[in-house]
Amino acid sequence: VLSPRERVGQRSETVRRANLSAIVRELHLLGPQSRSELGRRTGLTRSAIRGLIGDLVSGGLVEERPSAPAGTPGRPSSLVCPRADQAVVVGLEVNVDSLALATVGLGGTIHRLERVDRPRAHVTLDAIVSDLVDLGGPTVGRLRRDGTLVGVGVAVAGIVRRDDGVVRHAPNLGWRDVPLGGRLAASLGLDAPVDVANEADLGGLAEHRRGAAVGVDDVVYVSGEVGVGGNVIMAGQPLVGAAGYAAEIGHMSVRPDGGVCGCGSTGCWETEIGERAMLARAGLPVDGGRDAVARLMIEAVAGEPQARAALEHVATWLGTGAASLVNIFNPRLVVLGGIFERIHPLVGSTIDAALRQRALPPSRDQVRVVPGRLGVDAPILGAAELAFEPLLADPAARLRGLHAVPASA
Amino acid sequence: VLSPRERVGQRSETVRRANLSAIVRELHLLGPQSRSELGRRTGLTRSAIRGLIGDLVSGGLVEERPSAPAGTPGRPSSLVCPRADQAVVVGLEVNVDSLALATVGLGGTIHRLERVDRPRAHVTLDAIVSDLVDLGGPTVGRLRRDGTLVGVGVAVAGIVRRDDGVVRHAPNLGWRDVPLGGRLAASLGLDAPVDVANEADLGGLAEHRRGAAVGVDDVVYVSGEVGVGGNVIMAGQPLVGAAGYAAEIGHMSVRPDGGVCGCGSTGCWETEIGERAMLARAGLPVDGGRDAVARLMIEAVAGEPQARAALEHVATWLGTGAASLVNIFNPRLVVLGGIFERIHPLVGSTIDAALRQRALPPSRDQVRVVPGRLGVDAPILGAAELAFEPLLADPAARLRGLHAVPASA
């Protein structure tokens, strides 16, 4: 996110950096494209594109490949391709039930994606960091030796201070003010900070860049897990707030005289639509986790009345809260993630009906509610995207660092 | 607001335009300052500043004045000053109870501010446009003849499509899909469109630029009138949404089984904290308008129990909804406008208590709730700011247009 400070007066010498950033970002988000497409998208002249691509090729971040097989008639043209092997990030995830690792290359190529279960219980920072180092340490070490590591991003089921990666509050992990970013960076032997963010924020980021909301500038993402979270993209930029705590939409009061929430308040949206509330209504163990949710889905598909009623209840309240968010944000798209992505095929019409009943007509007529496309992997893919941000914002810095690395063909 | 498209690759020839914009914006928002202050704020070099200021002086938008009286010892330095007489906007307001006119010069100098009552009733577009032309037509004509008119902005108590100034829905005026912007531009004899926006959006903009939230990047503004509206500033930029309908925070469902709202839904925030709800609880006529609100305030100050209870009820629900917004936006400041600005001195502690009870601690600890500073004039001053936007975004266009105008000293 550009801060207002960064938008003001520009010296000419900063222009090259901004232009390199624009090109690398386009290639990362949209994939291989011709020079002329890049020119159209960035507004840069042909000669500017030529020079900048040259720098990026020498620096090993991109390569040019023929766009048509040899032997095809006509003048050969070429595609500018991001080099997924030469700029790689590691995403990590600390979820209530699992840990995950992803390695992703420039352009969004997923090299590896691995998830391991963990018991749903409070846990110390030491234990989590140790598990994360077991899971990701060897990969991080190898990428560093190869000179291809761009960064490490972490998704966590808690409220995170973006500046320093401190987890301010994570009730399901039993954490308050836990310095996850700093400790993990030290344990992985990294000089640079590890970027940490809330899992729902990152899930929304991933759906915006790689999933159901690609190309849509104004998006509300609502993710259902044990906690209900979300992210909001406005004019193409994620909502961050003063310290990165924004988009805690699960703690919107929808029924102030309602049930007690994990956050200490009452009647938060989460108390009506969170995983525990849904399982309780279905008569299933509230902490049954994935197995219980799987059983609920099977029962609901089979038409079992209590399971259907539980889903209908959640759907009505999901649409009610979504209407508030549509009135507040005027988005083009509401993307449902986590358990809401899974129940959407069964109760999408109930969600829509509640939304239509409560949202203001001008905003209501512009919005669609759709399920996410990335499933449980949205947060870890978002963690990888987070780790790419410094490179996308300033590829010039990396080009300087890479001058010593031979650009292999 | 810069769209993501505008942030990508920049040709060198667009740099001058961006730099002129940065300088004029700083001068408009912060007032007269030295060249070195301008350099520090914009990041521009001394020689760049010198050239750009020269252009702006020739174009009549700024002038340089000695910063100390003649005869003061030391080398004389000068202040760069926006010329409030040479670049003037007209703000107009269509409120439930009144119409207003403001003329404001570059730098925020208010030349004139006038408000006339209108009966609280449905009204045709023809009648309103005729009244607005009576109120503002002569001023607009004079400024055009002088070559100093920058633009016209309009605040209206309704939901507005920003693109074309169509009022999509204004229940208190009885309007649906009314082309206010186009009709007003035609009736004022203007070639350029008139910019129209929601009054609460503009009230928030004005508090951010000229009132209680100056210098604060993340702000939620909550305005209480007959309708409850607001605006949200995130990272310095107003929340707009897909079509300009965002920040309809008065239609957040806070009590879905609650009272019927003017919008057709039930239990919107407005049904608990809007002017009508407040007056009804106090036993006063719900459409008594300003007189009834004035009476309520007098009774509450005197300690009359029903009046106090009405204010306490509103304050509790105001804090409850504000907590949801704090969780959603993580702002530094919640600014209360309209009737909430007036009741804050009496019930600020109740508002704070409800907020503290429901907002998540990390976000809660960063936010303060304060009354606005601009009173009933916030929307009209915001309309003036809206009319300045095209000039602030591209002063170069105006410099071209002004080349024929002699720059008087």
DSSP result, B309-323? HHHHHHHHHHHHHHH
In this complex, do A327 and B234 lie within 8 Å of one another by their Cβ atoms? no
Please tell me if residue A370 touches chain B, with a CB cutoff of 8 Å: no
Does the beta-carbon distance from B18 to A4 stay under 8 Å?
no
Residues 143-202 of A with CB under 8 A from B: 159, 161, 168-169
pLDDT at A360 over 90: yes
pLDDT, average across residues A347-361: 97
In chain B, residues with a C-beta closer than 8 Å to the C-beta of A331 are 241-242
Please give the average per-residue pLDDT across B378-403, as a whole number. 88
Q: Does the pLDDT value for residue A329 go beyond 90?
A: yes
Query: In this predicted structure, which of A18-22, A320-324, B304-308 has the lowest mean pLDDT?
Result: A18-22
Local confidence band at A172 (pLDDT 50, 70, 90 cut-offs): confident
Q: Which amino acid is at A60?
A: G
In the predicted model, is pLDDT for residue B313 greater than 60?
A: yes
Tell me whether A74 touches chain B (CB under 8 Å).
no
Residues of chain A positioned with their CB less than 8 A from the CB of B8: 22, 25-26, 41-43
What distance in Å separates the CA atoms of residue A200 and residue A203, rounded to the nearest whole number?
A: 5
Residues of A in contact with B23 (CB under 8 A): 9
Task: Output the pLDDT for position B401.
Answer: 61
Q: How confident is the model at residue B74 (pLDDT cuts 50, 70, 90)?
A: low
Region A264-285: mean pLDDT is: 97
Quote the pLDDT of residue A192: 81
Q: Which range is most confident: A163-172, A256-265, A345-354, B36-45?
A: A345-354
Residue B72: pLDDT band with limits 50, 70, 90? low
Residue A4 has pLDDT above 70, yes or no: no
A402 pLDDT exceeds 60? no
Nearest Cβ partner for B217 among A4, A168, A248 = A4
Of B2, B41, B159, which has the smallest distance from its Cβ to A360's Cβ?
A: B159
Whole-angstrom distance, CA of residue A51 vs CA of residue A45 = 10
Closest to A279 in 3D by CA, of A339, A350, A369, A349: A339
A393 interface with B at CB cutoff 8 Å: no
Q: Cβ of A321 and B253 within 8 Å?
A: yes
Nearest to A324 among B161, B218, B253 (CB): B253
pLDDT tens, position by position, B31-42: 999 999 999 999
For residue A321, give both structure tokens.
Answer: 């809260």
Indicate whether A7 pLDDT > 60.
Answer: no
Among all chains, which residue has been given the structure tokens 């252009």?
A: B55
Distance between CA A364 and CA B246 in Å, rounded?
Answer: 11
Phi-psi region at A25: left, alpha or beta (left = phi > 0; alpha = psi -120 to 50): alpha
Task: Look at residue A397 in the predicted model and tell me its pLDDT.
Answer: 87
pLDDT of B68 > 90? The answer is no
The pLDDT confidence band at residue A14, using thresholds 50, 70 and 90, is: confident
Give the residue with greater pLDDT, B72 vs B359. B359
Whether B126 has a pLDDT exceeding 80, the answer reads yes
Contacts of B406 (CB under 8 A, 6+ apart): none
Out of A4, A42, A218, name the one closest to residue B8 (CB).
A42
Chain A, chain B: beta-carbon pairs less than 8 Å apart: 226
pTM of the model: 0.92
Put simply, the chain A residues between 37 and 66 with a CB less than 8 A from any chain B CB are 41-45, 48
Residues of chain B in contact with residue A22, where contact means CB-CB under 8 angstroms, are 7-10
Q: Is the pLDDT of residue B326 over 50?
A: yes
Among residues B181, B119, B194, B160, the alpha carbon closest in space to that of B387 is found at B194
Interface probe for B, chosen from A16, A162, A178, A245 (most Cβ of B below 10 Å), is A245
B-chain residues near A332 (CB < 8 A) = 242
pLDDT digits (tens, 9 = 90+) for B80-125: 999 999 999 999 999 999 999 999 999 999 999 999 999 888 999 9
Q: Which residues in chain A have Cβ-Cβ distances shorter than 8 Å to B324?
A: 251-253
Q: Which residues of B touch A254 (CB under 8 A)?
A: 253-254, 256
pLDDT at A112: 97
Q: What is the mean pLDDT of residues B392-406?
A: 70
Answer whether A360 sits within 8 Å of B44, measured CB to CB. Answer: no
Per-residue pLDDT band at B66 (split at 50, 70, 90): confident
CB of A245 less than 8 A from some CB of B: yes
pLDDT in tens, A160-169: 999 999 999 9
Structure tokens at B382: 């915001």
Please tell me which residue of chain B has the smallest CA distance to A255. B255
Nearest to B257 by CA among A261, A258, A350, A369: A258
List % helix, strand, coil for chain B (3-state, nearest 5): 45, 20, 30
List CB contacts (< 8 A) between A357 and chain B: 265
Among A3, A244, A246, the residue with its CB nearest the CB of B328 is: A246
**Mean pLDDT rounded to a whole number for chain A:** 92
User: Is residue B2 within 8 angstroms of chain A, CB to CB?
Assistant: yes
- Give me the amino acid identity at B219: V
Work out the angle at residue B17's Cα, subtended by the Cα atoms of residues B15 and B18, and round it to the nearest 5 degrees.
65
Cβ-nearest to B169 among A217, A252, A360: A360
In this complex, is the C-beta atom of A254 within 8 Å of any C-beta atom belonging to chain B?
A: yes
A14 CA: distance to closest CA in chain B (Å): 10
Q: Is A252 within 8 Å of chain B by CB?
A: yes
**CA–CA dist A250, A268 (Å, integer):** 6
CB contact under 8 A, B263 and A10: no
pLDDT, tens only, A28-46: 999 999 999 999 999 999 9
* B170-202 pLDDT, tens digit each: 988 999 999 999 999 999 999 888 999 999 999
CB contact under 8 A, A9 and B18: yes
Average pLDDT over residues B267-292: 96
Distance from CA of A177 to the nearest CA of B (A): 10
Distance CA A265, CA B40 (A): 45
Q: Alpha-carbon distance A18 to A15, whole Å? A: 5
Closest-CA residue in chain B for A249? B328
| pLDDT in the model for residue A16 | 87
| Residues above pLDDT 90, as percent of chain A | 86
Give the residue on B whose Cα is nearest the Cα of A13: B12
Contact B360 A248 (CB under 8 A): yes
Hey, are the CB atoms on A253 and B254 less than 8 Å from each other? yes
Among A69-73, A141-145, A276-280, the least confident range: A69-73
Contacts 24+ apart (CB under 8 A), B265-271: B265/A323, B265/A357, B265/A358, B265/A359, B269/B228, B269/B317, B269/B321, B270/B227, B270/B228
A106-123 pLDDT per residue, tens = 999 999 999 999 988 899
Q: Quick: pLDDT tens for B218-253.
A: 999 999 999 999 999 999 999 999 999 999 999 999
Chain A residue with Cα closest to B319? A253
